[in-house]
Structure 1
Amino acid sequence: MYSSLLLLCFLIGCVAGLRSMMAPAIICATAYVQWIHLEKTPLAFLDTIAALSIFTLFAIGELIVDKLPKTPARTAPVGLIARIITGGLCGAALAMSAGKGVPVGILLGSLGGITGAFVGYNVRHGLVTHMNLPDFVVAVVEDLLAISGGLFVVSKM
């Protein structure tokens, strides 16, 4: 159903909003194991061991760097732009895999990236400042949410 695909494009963008490299790492992994099909599309490169390795290393690095005290907010320009781009890329991948409207997939993935970035930032900030929870603990829970959420999204393809 087309409306569920649109929702999945938005949600994978939300994952990118939480962790910009996790969403493409998940897309690469699911393409590599053939859960989604990108062969003979402009995004076929995501279905390679090289792309899977690179995005996985970037995702692991992001999980580590996110916990450092000097890491800029995800809503800062560079981080936000990365989330818009990776959200759009992942939305496009899901749309291409389903043989549906790629521009809409890009748009919804990008909007999901923006949404995930701001909602994730505000929820984390609120939990740390108003509920006095340790930032590290909240960040790890957010990591787990991004990973499980991304896997949930692609499992519905």
Structure 2
Amino acid sequence: MALIHSILMGAVAGMRSMTPLATVANAARMGALPADSGAPRLLAGPLASAGALAVAAGELAGDKMKSAPDRIVPAGMVARVATGALAGMALAPRHQRGVAALLGAGAAVGAAYLTFNLRMRAIDRYGQTATGAVEDAVAVGSAALIARSAAED
């Protein structure tokens, strides 16, 4: 079941690159990751958690701006792959962290293209701010539920 959490958190990275990292860092700080997780110790530090939360909040705010780059530009994809891999690894048992990182990164890429397409269609009808707010709620809510479920396994 652990690898499902890695895939799902990777998919969240496809929507919002920093939300999975902030969620996992906060869970690590609170000791709420699975017992044998593959999370690097650095994630559990208060500075790492606060920094990830600040960057994630900035991403949520910046996404609503007209000047925000598309999520599928190379820099955005690198960030999504990296955070999808790291968050996926953090939610899996240590002996599966390599596979979990690959699954998290792959899910991030697939979800980035899927959600980009959906968002572009929704923007035409509902506007950038409204669609961004809905996507934010889905990403943050999903990440919180995935982390909670992973901790319970």
Alpha-carbon distance in structure 1 between the residues aligned to 2:16 and 2:39: 24
Partner of 1:119: 114
Tell me the amino acid that sits aligned with residue 103 of structure 2. Answer: L
Partner of 1:151: 144
Task: Report SS of the residue matched to 1:36.
Answer: coil
Tell me the amino acid that sits aligned with residue 67 of structure 2. Answer: K
User: Structure 1 residue 42: deviation in Å?
Assistant: 6.5
Alpha-carbon distance in structure 2 between the residues aligned to 1:73 and 1:38: 37
Partner of 2:91: 94
User: Structure 1 residue 100: deviation in Å?
Assistant: 3.6
Which stretches in structure 1 are left out of the alignment for 5+ residues?
none
Change (3 A) 1:150 1:78: same
Runs of 4+ in 1 over 4 A off after TM superposition: 37-42
Alpha-carbon distance in structure 2 between the residues aligned to 1:36 and 1:42: 8
User: Structure 1 residue 35: deviation in Å?
Assistant: 1.2
Q: How many corresponding residue pairs?
A: 150
Correspondence 1:40-59 to 2 at 5 A:
43-59=40-56
Matched, 1:104 2:99: yes
Matched, 1:134 2:131: no
Percent of matched pairs sharing the same residue: 29
Correspondence 1:29-40 to 2 at 5 A:
29-37=26-34
- 8 A contact 2:9–2:84 mirrored in 1: yes
Partner of 1:10: 7
User: Structure 1 residue 150: deviation in Å?
Assistant: 0.3
- 8 A contact 1:13–1:88 mirrored in 2: yes
Partner of 2:65: 68
User: Structure 1 residue 41: deviation in Å?
Assistant: 6.0
User: Structure 1 residue 7: deviation in Å?
Assistant: 1.4
Q: TM-score, normalised by structure 1?
A: 0.90
Alpha-carbon distance in structure 1 between the residues aligned to 2:88 and 2:38: 14
